Structures are given as C-alpha cells and as structure tokens.
C-alpha cells in the first residue's frame, strides 16, 4: 500500500510541472516569425493549402482552445501530421525512439562503469595526488564536447582500425546486430563525458559518507575497508546517486541529438535535425515534447525512489 | 627527514600541481581574450577567402593549420571563429543573467506565492534537455547565431534564478539587511542594488564561469547542426562541422577546433572552482 501512496504523491506533485512543460512546448509554435501557415507551407503555397494548414493548426480559435486541442491530442498519442511527408508524427517518433533509448542505456552503462568506481576510489584517497589527478582529468573530461569525441573515435576505431562501423550504420529492424555494433562508438563518446561527471559527483557524495560517524564506528570495530566503502558508505550515497543518474539522463538526451547527427544514426535527435532543415515545425515540437516527457518520467522515478529509500521524506 | 616533514612536502607538491592547472587556465583564457580582441590583426588572411587551387593543404609555413576543402586558411578561420564563439557564449550568458538575476532575487525576496509560481516555471523549463529546447527554439525562430544564443540564454537562465533565489533567501534575515530595513530602505534603489546584490553576486560569478563553458559547447553543438553560425562565417562549431565533411581526407583538421573548445571550457570550469575556493570563508 505504501508504494501506491508514494507513487500517487509523486505523480500528483509532478502534474503542475507537466502542465507548464506542455504549455512551453505549445508556445514554441508561437515563436515562428510571421504567419506560421506561410512558414510551414513555403512562400509559394496555394491559398487552399494555407487555409488547410490554418485549420489544422486551429489558428482560427482562441489560444486556450488551441492549447486544449493540442494537449488532448498529444496526451493521447496524437502529435499531428508532418507537413513534409504527410505521415503521422507519432508513428515517426515511435520509429525513431527505440534507437535513441538503446543508445542512452548503453551510454549510461558506460558512464556508470567508468564514473562510479573512479569516483569511489578518488573519495577513498581524498586529497592525494591520485585524487587530484582523477579530479583534474574528470574536469577535462567534462569539458570535451562529446560529439567531437565521437569524431575522434570514428577516426581511430572506424577509419583506421576498422573495429566498428563508421557513420551511417545499419537500421535496427533490418540488421539488429550490426546496428547495435554501430551504437558502441557513440555510446562510448556519450558515456566517457557522462562518466567524468558521475566521477566528480560520486566523489563528493562518497567523501561526505566516508567522513560520517558510523563509518568511523565500522572502522573502529575492524570491518575491512572494502566492505565499509562498497557496502556501507556506497549504500548511504544511494540518494545522491539517484539524483546524479536523473541529471545524466537529461544531459544524455541533449548530447545524443548531436552525437546521432555525427554518427548518422536515425534516432529522434537526427529526426529533429532533419525536421529543422525541412522547417517541419510539428515534428520539432513533437521531439521537444517527447524529450521533456522522458525527463519528467525520469524525475518521477527519482522522486519515487527517494521517497522509498529515505523514510524521512514523506 | 621526519614523517611530518615529508608529509608537509607532499602537500606542497600537491598544492603546486593544483596551482598548475589554475595558472594554465589563466593562460588559456588570456590567449583566448587576446585572440578575441586581435583576431583581425593576427589572421594571415581573410577567414572566408577561398582559393580552390590550394584545397586541403597540410600544415605549412604559409598555412600553419592547413587549408579546408574550399582552400580557406584554417588558422584564420580558427582565429575569427574564436571571436565569434566566445562573443556568442558571452551573449548567451549575459541573457541568462539579465533574465535570471532579477527573477531570482524577486523569488527569494518576494512573498511565498510569487516564489512558488516562479519556481514552478523554473522546474518546467528545467524538465527540458537544454540542448533540445535550444534546438526547438532556434529551429522555430529561424536558424542564426543570435537566435541560437538567445535560446541558450533562456535555457541557462533557470540555473541563475535558482542560485540568486537561494542566496537572497539566505541573506534576507541577516542583521545588516534588518538594519537597512529599520532605516527605511526598501525597493530597488535603496535595498536591492546597495544591499542585496553585492552580497549575492559572488556565487553568481562562479556560476557565470561554469555557464560560459556550457554556452561554448552549446554554440559548437548548434553550429555543428547548422543552427548557429551560418556559412561562410566561422566559429569553432562551424569549423568543426565543415572539417567533419572531409574527415577521411584530412582527419587532423577536426582536432584543432575540438581541442580549442575543450581547453577553453576546461579553463572556465577550473577558474569557476578557483573563484569558489577563494570565496570560501573556511579557507586558511
């Protein structure tokens, strides 16, 4: 029962943010300079075409009516039709989203595999030259644009060594194995930079955990360091770790857009880029909407795990 | 040598190593500042002058960084690009501060409802991945560097709002503010500008340094996606985007713009840490 109540409270408290976020996505369309119908259909559109687009967009109704029409569609999975291809935008998103999600999971695994152990080790040897070296390297890692790192990986591992496919990999539905192989380099490009961030954040969370009284008690009663660090202190850092992962998901979606463009992967990032080049505003709006929904969902999961892990938050 | 002496020496060595990255960062930012001011004087040729007889030349005396696929001098493009990238990042951060500072102070200073309202909007903006929202705004407003940086400024503003709000809340019950209030100080000119702003500005400066790094990467990303600086103009992102198209013929050319971005962002982050350290009252 407790879990239901916890989920319920979290969902309820997320609703105002959800409404405001959808309002922001809706208002994006208002930023189109001049007449949106002309911007969408191009300068040489026929009057009938313009009238149809105006009707589709509901430009004749009031702003509130327009928002309600759009949001009721969006929340039931109807994101409108693409003005360039005439396809349903929801279908386009569903076609592209799996690749982006898989890429993000891969990248998150790489980031955790690098950042967590290094962060813990750094915290254990706090203020030594090893710690300083790691922290400085992590600061440099954070500064590297991950799409540039992707290009460097392409040069070394695709063009020179030929271990992994270069840009423009196979499609996920036709050749899944080759497509997954094509995700290794972009996942490393995303994950290395993410790992550097995780390393720094885990370090500061663990430095705090390791300086607490109960850790000192464990040490005093002779518990082996490995067990103190990896079992007790790390468990006590699980709350900040949940936050760190939440932030990483948000960062990863943003970076994935650019990294997808570098590797020619057909995820929702490159969908946004294509839509931008074709001035397909509905698709751009939908990608922004979906990205925000993924983050809101992640925040919700982090919030629920917080409430479940820490009895002090009710 | 006693154990204590060797320990003290170890600490000094570590401090020196830490100092090194700080000095290196000052040096990097100094060079960047000089290039921003003197890009025109330092460039051997125009950043947009094409010479189709000399395409994709390797590094040489005449072209220290080689030429691109249109025969343009890469060094000149990098130098001019530095000015464009850094000024663009400064514009974005300035927009974030201009939006964020007054709203943050208002949220921290004003009544509970105003604060709750502002923080809800901030939460909503922060539920978007910054780059994706910036792409959405830029793509809709029309792809050019000014629009791109307005968009980046808008997505960075919540970071300043949150910080300014938290700082304002900390100082609003301090004795000196109470004292000023008891003398009848209120409003923007008598309270906020002389008493609130100077006391919250230091952490904001740290944040500005960190945001400069973020804005530089955002500029590079948006220009790489052709949403920022438009051809034939140069910026770090634009040079990177162009050299990516002939990656297999001249792989070395993507190295320089990326390194310039990474080094500058690193320097801003280190300087941010350094300002924070200097401002820490617990510092010995």
Model pLDDT, residue B97: 97
Q: Is A20 in contact with B221 (Cβ distance < 8 A)?
A: no
Model pLDDT, residue B6: 46
**How confident is the model over A269-307, as pLDDT tens digits?**
889 988 888 888 889 989 999 999 999 999 898 888 888
Comparing A234 with B101, the larger pLDDT belongs to B101
Comparing B176 with A58, the larger pLDDT belongs to B176
Distance CA B258, CA A153 (A): 13
In 3D space, the residue among A102, A82, A84, A108 whose CA is nearest the CA of residue A93 turns out to be A82
| Nearest residue on chain B to A159, alpha-carbon basis | B248
Distances (CA, A) of A147 to A207, A306, A308, B135: 31, 33, 37, 16
In 3D space, the residue among B159, B53, B78, B122 whose CA is nearest the CA of residue A21 turns out to be B122
Mean pLDDT calculated for residue range A164-173 = 75
With a pLDDT cut of 70, the percent of chain B lying above it is 92
- Residues 54 through 113 of chain A touching chain B, CB cutoff 8 Å: none
Model pLDDT, residue B283: 58
B215 close contact with A: CB closer than 8 A: no
Residue B258 pLDDT greater than 60, yes or no: yes
Of B124, B141, B264, the CB nearest to A20: B124
Distance CA B279, CA B284 (A): 11
Tokens for B237, please give them: 């992102």
**How confident is the model over B69-124, as pLDDT tens digits?**
888 888 999 999 999 999 999 999 999 999 999 999 999 988 889 999 999 999 89
**How confident is the model over A174-187, as pLDDT tens digits?**
778 888 888 999 99
Torsion from C-alpha of A297, A301, A307, A309, nearest 10 degrees: -170
Tell me what the pLDDT averaged over chain B comes to.
Answer: 87
Tell me what the pLDDT averaged over chain A comes to.
Answer: 85
Q: Which of A123-132, A204-213, B26-35 has the highest mean pLDDT?
A: B26-35
Mean pLDDT calculated for residue range B145-158 = 93
Mean pLDDT calculated for residue range A53-58 = 71
In 3D space, the residue among B225, B190, B73 whose CA is nearest the CA of residue A262 turns out to be B225
B14: confidence class by pLDDT, cuts 50, 70, 90: low
Chain B hits for A299, CB-CB cut-off 8 Å, are: 127
Supply the Cα-derived Rg of chain B in whole angstroms.
23
Chain A hits for B131, CB-CB cut-off 8 Å, are: 254-255, 257-258
A24-38, A238-252, A289-303, B65-79, range with the lowest pLDDT? A24-38
Chain B hits for A154, CB-CB cut-off 8 Å, are: 247
B133 close contact with A: CB closer than 8 A: yes
A11: confidence class by pLDDT, cuts 50, 70, 90: confident
Model pLDDT, residue B37: 94
Model pLDDT, residue A169: 67
Question: A302 vs chain B: nearest CA distance in angstroms?
Answer: 13
Chain B hits for A276, CB-CB cut-off 8 Å, are: 135, 139, 143, 225, 227
Q: Is A148 in contact with B270 (Cβ distance < 8 A)?
A: no
3-state per-residue secondary structure call for chain B: CCHHHHHHHHHHHHHHHHHHHHHHHHHHHHHHHHHHHHHHHHCCCCCCCCCCCCCCCCCCCCCCCCECCCCCEHHHHHHHHHHHHHHHHHHHHHHHHHHHHHHHHHHHHCCHHHHHHHHHHHHHHHCCCHHHHHHHHHHHHCCCHHHHHHHHHHHHHHHHHHHHHHHHHHHCCCHHHHHHHHCCCCHHHHHHHHHHHHHHHHHHHHHHHHHHHHHHHHHHHHHHCCCCCCCCCCCHHHHHHHHHHCCCCCHHHHHHHHHHHHHHHHHHHHHHHHHHHHHCCCCC
**Residue with token string 């967009």:** A57
With a pLDDT cut of 70, the percent of chain A lying above it is 96
Of A20, A140, A292, the CB nearest to B121: A20
- Residues 9 through 48 of chain A touching chain B, CB cutoff 8 Å: 16-17, 20-21, 23-25, 28-29, 31-33
B135 close contact with A: CB closer than 8 A: yes
| Nearest residue on chain B to A284, alpha-carbon basis | B136
Model pLDDT, residue B178: 82
Model pLDDT, residue A311: 63
Residues 6+ apart with CB under 8 A from A280: A82, A83, A84, A274
**How confident is the model over B265-283, as pLDDT tens digits?**
999 999 998 888 888 776 5
Q: Is A28 in contact with B136 (Cβ distance < 8 A)?
A: yes
Model pLDDT, residue B15: 61
Comparing B137 with A35, the larger pLDDT belongs to B137
Chain A hits for B263, CB-CB cut-off 8 Å, are: 143
Chain B hits for A33, CB-CB cut-off 8 Å, are: 141-142
Of B128, B240, B269, the CB nearest to A292: B128
A7-21, A70-84, B254-268, range with the lowest pLDDT? A70-84
Model pLDDT, residue B2: 45
User: Is residue B154 within 8 Å of residue B242, measured between CB atoms?
Assistant: no
B124 close contact with A: CB closer than 8 A: yes
Which of A39, A167, A276 to mutate: most B Cβ within 10 Å?
A276
Q: Is B244 in contact with A155 (Cβ distance < 8 A)?
A: no
A28-37, A173-182, B56-65, B209-218, range with the lowest pLDDT? A28-37
Model pLDDT, residue A108: 94
Model pLDDT, residue A279: 81
Number of CB pairs, chain A paired with chain B, less than 8 A apart = 157
- Residues 227 through 246 of chain B touching chain A, CB cutoff 8 Å: 227, 240, 244
Distance CA A98, CA A90 (A): 13
Which DSSP category does A228 fall into? I
């Amino acid at each position: 029962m407790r879990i239901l109540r916890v989920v319920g409270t979290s969902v309820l408290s997320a609703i105002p943010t959800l409404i405001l976020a959808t309002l922001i996505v809706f208002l994006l369309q208002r930023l189109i300079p001049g007449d949106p119908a002309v911007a969408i259909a191009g300068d040489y559109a026929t009057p009938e075409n313009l009238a149809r687009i105006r009707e589709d967009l509901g430009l004749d109704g009031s702003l509130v009516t327009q928002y309600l029409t759009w949001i009721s569609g969006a929340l039931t999975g109807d994101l409108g039709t693409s003005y360039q291809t005439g396809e349903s935008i929801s279908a386009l998103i569903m076609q592209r989203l799996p690749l982006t999600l898989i890429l993000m999971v891969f990248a998150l695994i790489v980031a955790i595999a690098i950042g967590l152990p290094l962060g813990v080790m750094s915290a254990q040897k706090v203020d030594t030259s090893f710690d300083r070296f790691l922290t400085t390297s992590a600061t440099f890692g954070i500064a590297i644009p991950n799409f540039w790192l992707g290009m460097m990986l392409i040069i070394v591992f695709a063009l020179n060594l030929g271990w992994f496919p270069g840009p423009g990999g196979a499609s996920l539905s036709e050749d899944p194995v080759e497509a997954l192989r094509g995700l290794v380099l972009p996942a490393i490009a995303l994950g290395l930079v993410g790992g550097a961030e995780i390393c720094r954040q885990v370090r500061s969370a663990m430095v705090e955990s390791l300086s607490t009284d109960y850790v000192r008690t464990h040490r005093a009663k002779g518990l082996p360091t490995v067990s103190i660090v990896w079992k007790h202190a790390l468990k006590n850092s699980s709350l900040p770790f949940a936050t760190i992962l939440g932030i990483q998901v948000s960062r990863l979606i943003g970076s994935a857009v650019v990294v997808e463009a570098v590797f020619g992967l057909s995820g929702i990032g490159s969908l946004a880029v294509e839509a931008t080049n074709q001035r397909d505003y509905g698709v751009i709006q939908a990608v922004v909407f979906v990205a925000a929904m993924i983050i809101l969902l992640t925040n919700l999961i982090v919030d629920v795990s917080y409430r479940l892990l820490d009895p002090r938050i009710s | 040598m006693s154990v204590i002496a060797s320990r003290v020496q170890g600490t000094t060595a570590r401090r020196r190593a830490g100092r090194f990255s700080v000095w290196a960062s000052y040096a990097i930012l100094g060079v960047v500042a000089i290039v921003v001011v003197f890009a025109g004087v330092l460039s051997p040729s125009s950043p947009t002058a094409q010479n189709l007889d000399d395409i994709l030349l390797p590094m040489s005396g005449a072209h220290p960084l080689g030429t691109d696929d249109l025969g343009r001098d890469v060094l000149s493009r990098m130098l001019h690009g530095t000015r464009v990238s850094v000024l663009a990042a400064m514009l974005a951060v300035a927009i974030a501060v201009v939006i964020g500072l007054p709203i943050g102070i208002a949220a921290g200073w004003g009544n509970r409802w105003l604060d709750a309202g502002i923080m809800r909007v901030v939460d909503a903006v922060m539920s978007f991945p910054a780059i994706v929202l910036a792409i959405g705004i830029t793509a809709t407003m029309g792809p050019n560097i000014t629009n791109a940086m307005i968009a980046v400024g808008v997505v960075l503003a919540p970071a300043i709002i949150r910080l300014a709000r938290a700082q304002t809340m900390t100082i609003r019950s301090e004795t000196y503010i109470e004292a000023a209030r008891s003398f009848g100080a209120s409003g923007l000119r008598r309270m906020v500008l002389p008493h609130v702003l100077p006391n919250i500005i230091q952490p904001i400066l740290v944040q500005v340094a960190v945001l400069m790094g973020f804005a530089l990467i955002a500029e590079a990303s948006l220009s790489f996606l052709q949403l920022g600086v438009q051809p034939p103009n140069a910026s770090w992102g634009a040079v990177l985007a162009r050299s990516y198209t002939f990656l297999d013929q001249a792989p070395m050319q993507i190295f320089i713009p990326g390194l310039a971005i990474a080094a500058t962002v690193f320097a801003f982050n280190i300087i941010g840490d350094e300002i924070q350290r200097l401002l820490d009252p617990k510092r010995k």
